[in-house]
Amino acid sequence: MATVAGATAAGAAVAGRYTCRLSSGAGVPMPEKRWGTCIMTLMRLSARADYALRAAIELAAASSGHVTADQLARAQQIPGKFLETILTQLRRAGLIRSQRGPDGGFWLARPAAEISLADIIRAIDGQLLGVRGERPENITYPGVAEPLQQVWIALRANERAVLEQVTLADIVSGNLPDTIRHLTENPSAWV
């Protein structure tokens, strides 16, 4: 779950913290240049969501149509038992399908162009932005802090604008939407 600063991400203790930095200018998630770790000011992406995204991208890129859990785990360096739980959650959310047996494995339940990054994150962690586990529209602040609710709602809208626009197919092709590329061209997004 994306959470407001200070909360720990579910699964972080198992696999370390995998979070990404928010640009101070545009307020859009931007990865650091180091593999596997990044830091965010206001939002945290859980290790489970990070692993789920990487596994789903592997499935989207699979030319054979299906991939075993072991292949996914090796390709993305995801602990096997951790991955099993993630794949179960993705299957229950209707994002992937599975089959047991010698010809078994996992594959996407619908085309990669129809599955957004937000779909994957929600399947694993629930709502995109929460404040103390609550939706921002359900939080009220007393006195002069009252406008803080609007900040959280704006942050969630910005997060949705990115994560709902980018699909698994965009990631696999390496052809990100123009709005995403435009945001990453701003040098301040990388610091």
Whole-number pLDDT of residue 43: 55
Tens of pLDDT along 81-110? 999 999 999 999 999 999 998 888 999 999
CA distance 149 to 136: 6
Residue whose C-alpha is closest to residue 139's, from 154, 150, 128: 150
pLDDT at 9 over 60: no
Q: Which pLDDT belongs to residue 140?
A: 85
Task: Read off the pLDDT of each residue in 168-182 and give the average, rounded to a whole number.
Answer: 94
Q: Is the confidence at residue 55, as pLDDT, over 90? A: yes
Residue 11, pLDDT score: 32
Q: What's the Cα-to-Cα distance from 37 to each of 32, 69, 113, rounded to whole Å?
A: 8, 23, 27
Amino acid at 122: R
Please write the tens of the pLDDT for every residue from 122-156: 999 888 877 777 888 888 888 899 999 999 889 88
State the pLDDT at residue 5: 36
Q: What is the mean pLDDT of the chain?
A: 78
Q: Does the structure show a pLDDT above 70 at 50? A: yes
Of 175, 184, 170, 181, give the one whose Cα is nearest residue 56: 170
pLDDT, tens digit, for every residue of 12-43? Answer: 322 333 333 333 333 444 333 333 333 333 45
Mean pLDDT, residues 67-88? 94
Is a pLDDT exceeding 90 seen at residue 117?
yes
